[in-house]
Amino acid sequence: MKRQIAFTLRFDPMLYERIKAVSGSSGLSVTSFVQDAVAKRLREEDEAALFDAFTVVGEDSEESSVEFARDAQREAALKDA
């Protein structure tokens, strides 16, 4: 098992009850549910950053780097594999 770090999160009581209900109905612990939600949000951030990088490459060909675009595509392809 990977090493994990324990820390305290504070939730509005109504939000916490909703998290408990949804995680329970999904067969997940609150911890697993929150970890999955955070991981999903971080993936979305990574995808947005990659999209922004490709947008910059497409807009300014003088500053674009074919190697950077190739490496970014490779990273995205391997991530999905």
pLDDT for position 64: 56
pLDDT for position 79: 72
Q: Which residue has the tokens 């003088």?
A: 62
Examine the pLDDT at 74 and tell me if it is beyond 70: yes
In 3-state terms, what secondary structure has residue 25? helix
Measured CA to CA, the distance from residue 70 to residue 5 in angstroms comes to 35
pLDDT for position 63: 55
Query: Model-level pTM?
Result: 0.61
pLDDT for position 2: 82
| pLDDT single digits (tens) 13-67 | 999 999 999 999 999 999 999 999 999 999 888 888 877 776 665 555 555 566 7
**Do residues 32 and 19 touch, judged by C-beta distance below 8 A?**
no
How far is C-alpha 35 from the chain's CA centre? 10
Tokens of 57: 């490459």
